[in-house]
Amino acid sequence: MIFGGIIWFGRPNLQNETALLSGKQGQLIVEGVDNYDFGAISMAAGNVKHAFKIKNISNEAVTIDKMYTSCMCTTATLMMKDKQYGPYGMPGHGSIPKIGQNINQNEEAIIEVIFDPTAHGPAGVGRIQRTITIENNAGQPIELMFSAVVTP
């Protein structure tokens, strides 16, 4: 019951998803790919990272509300204007605080993702796919994905 409570309070806040969809205030896009493939990576070689770039292409500021990952083996950091926010992880494995940072018209931000292939131990070999979700006030959350084939 305690574990269930932790998961309940750590979950992402998507209860107003319908309101967010109808109240579009700006537009964020992912520049380049939104699904990155690391290819084959070795547990012995340690962590790998990739940077995704997002940009506000609208005339309105867009607020990044929250960011979280689909697995404890992954963290994501928001980098913009020489500042870093995070790293943020998986809901239920620590709190996911509000970020509350604006990306103004034509501004860009970097989402740096770090994957730890050793996080699941020897059972973690094989094909993986993970997601990073970015909640914002411009509409549906942005989802960034990556995949890899983990080897010992």
| pLDDT 10s digits, 96-127 | 889 999 999 999 999 999 999 999 999 999 99
Report pLDDT digits (tens) over 42-98: 999 999 999 999 999 999 999 999 999 999 999 999 999 889 999 999 998 777 889
Mean pLDDT of 27-42: 95
Residue 15: the pLDDT is: 38
**CATH number, position 8:** 2.60.40.10
Q: Per the structure, how many domains does the chain have?
A: 1
Residue with tokens 């620590």: 94
Query: Is this prediction's pTM over 0.85?
Result: no
With 50 as the cut, is the pLDDT of residue 18 above it?
A: no
The pLDDT, as a whole number, for residue 25 is 61
CB burial class (10 A; 0-12, 13-18, 19+) of residue 137? Answer: middle
What pLDDT is stored for residue 139 in this prediction?
Answer: 85
Judged against a pLDDT cut of 50, whether residue 13 lies above it is answered with: no
Give the N- to C-terminal CA distance of the chain in Å, as an integer.
Answer: 36
Give the strand order in the sheet containing 62-69: 35-42, 142-151, 126-136, 62-69, 101-103
Q: Which domain holds residue 98?
A: 2-151
